[in-house]
Amino acid sequence: MRSETRKERHKQLVSLLRDNPLLTDEELAISLSVSLSTLRLDRGLLGIPELRERMRSMAENANSRLRSLKSDEVVGELLELEPNVSALSVLSATEDITFRHTNIVSDYYIYSQAASLAIATINEDMVVIGAARIRYRKPAFIGDKILARSKVGTFKGNKYVVSVHSSVDGKEMFVARFVVVAKNEFIQ
Amino acid sequence: MRSETRKERHKQLVSLLRDNPLLTDEELAISLSVSLSTLRLDRGLLGIPELRERMRSMAENANSRLRSLKSDEVVGELLELEPNVSALSVLSATEDITFRHTNIVSDYYIYSQAASLAIATINEDMVVIGAARIRYRKPAFIGDKILARSKVGTFKGNKYVVSVHSSVDGKEMFVARFVVVAKNEFIQ
DNA sequence: CTGGTATTAAGACCAGCTACTAAATTAGTG
DNA sequence: CACTAATTTAGTAGCTGGTCTTAATACCAG
């Protein structure tokens, strides 16, 4: 059983597809300098679906991923919005927003949910975060539904103070106070 | 010109695909109760690409989006690291980290670069952000190279204060002061 | 009835596969 | 060295979800 070369090739195949899942069998075969037949056999052995399947599944959760990260602008799903007063969003903690292969939700996402909610709350064309004070009280884990609630406090001119409280199961997990700035001139 | 029905159908077609871009021509034709030919003609007239094209493009930018935030853990590229003292990272502003189709880099990424740098600076197994004060001084634009420099200030027990200054072309753009907490016990 | 628009049908072709069969090649062992 | 088993390659037919082209048909107005 001299299948060292094959094992090696399998590793390379996996790695090629990790870098670019949109390669056809032909391209893969050429990269690994084997025949189409061999490549298809390998792909079968490794249980890797055909290109079209891979595209399909990526396209499918491109949707959900889109929705979570940048979609339109809000990270999380906007549930309520009373412009310039308050808003509510929820973010479901899935594996791909966790921190270093743990079960803990990465702070980036908690921040992003809160910051985008703060921005969404303000009813102006162009709004950016100017400053913030944030505190993480507890971690959130895979499976948690993170509810973020924003409230507009004082505002002066083009600056609003928006506070955001994020909680899981009613327990406060994160608090922030953002200074949000509305830009009337369109920069650049 | 009895094309009222056709116009109506075109609207429905667009709306069907907006709801679910992964429908085949056959499914669409049935939904709209026309023949395959008609449906393909319509799709052509509206300049809508075939299913596989739609999948491909969705799959493509599912990719780039994934790759951009999270990548591994550090947002940006780590250039220097003196553990528990200071560190330096750079983030190149590309189109996919911008805010609302503008040229301005989204605050999420600036925060993420700074926070991950602060964490990377601390030489402990498990480290999370406990609190932060941050200020955005100027926006950053597509093409900018954002340099973030961290410095560890005081530390007491398992809490470190890490300050991060991010700049573009030597001009300070963002400042933050993080309280970083090292967790010795592995939570969960 | 004629003409124009809209719809449908029919046929040939393509990419990127699957599934299967069969032959050729390459080790590895006695 | 010959033999066997694993591995690789080749080749065929068939599928999906299209493309593109040409031709036939339905509909409706003037």
Tell me if B131 sits within 8 A of A134, measured CB to CB. yes
Reduced to 3 states, what is the DSSP secondary structure of residue B166?
Answer: strand
CA distance A12 to chain B (A): 20
* pLDDT, tens only, B64-91: 443 333 344 567 788 888 889 999 999 9
* pLDDT, tens only, B174-187: 999 999 998 754 43
Reduced to 3 states, what is the DSSP secondary structure of residue B89?
Answer: strand
What are the structure tokens assigned to A39, written together?
């490549």
Please give the pLDDT value at position B163.
Answer: 97
* pLDDT, tens only, B103-126: 888 888 899 999 999 998 998 878
User: Residue B97 carries which DSSP code?
Assistant: G
Percent of chain A with pLDDT over 90: 49
Q: Which residues contact A150 (CB under 8 A, 6 or more apart)?
A: A86, A87, A88, A114, A117, A118, A120, A121, A162, A163, A164
Q: Which regions of chain A are under pLDDT 70? A: 1-3, 61-74, 100-101, 184-188
Provide the b/e sequence for A61-89 (b: ≥16 CB within 10 Å): bbbebeebbbbeebbbebeebeeeebbbb
Tell me if B103 sits within 8 A of B133, measured CB to CB. no
What are the backbone dihedrals phi and psi of residue A75, each rounded to the nearest 5 degrees, phi first? -85, 125
Residue A71 contacts B, CB cutoff 8 Å: no
Q: Which residue has the tokens 């560890």?
A: B152
The predicted model scores a pTM of 0.58
Q: Which residue has the tokens 């009222």?
A: B4
Please give the pLDDT value at position A188.
Answer: 34
> CA B100 – C1' D24 distance (Å)?
51
CA B109 to chain CA centroid, Å, is 7
CA quadruple A30, A33, A38, A40: dihedral, nearest 10: -30
| Euclidean distance between CA atoms B64 and B66, whole angstroms | 5
Nearest residue to nucleotide D18, by CA–C1' distance, is B50
> CA B44 – C1' D27 distance (Å)?
23
Verify whether the Cβ–Cβ distance B63 to A63 is below 8 Å. no
Tell me if B109 sits within 8 A of B91, measured CB to CB. yes
Nearest to A25 by CA among A61, A56, A54: A54
| Euclidean distance between CA atoms A122 and A72, whole angstroms | 16
Which residues 97-136 in chain B show a CB within 8 A of chain A?
Answer: 99-100, 102-104, 106-108, 111-112, 115-116, 126, 128-136
Verify whether the Cβ–Cβ distance B134 to A131 is below 8 Å. yes
String of DSSP letters for B124-163: SSSEEEEEEEEEE-S--BTT-EEEEEEEEEEEETTEEEEE
Residue B172 contacts A, CB cutoff 8 Å: no
Verify whether the Cβ–Cβ distance B135 to A139 is below 8 Å. no
Please give the pLDDT value at position B66.
Answer: 37
| Euclidean distance between CA atoms B113 and B97, whole angstroms | 12
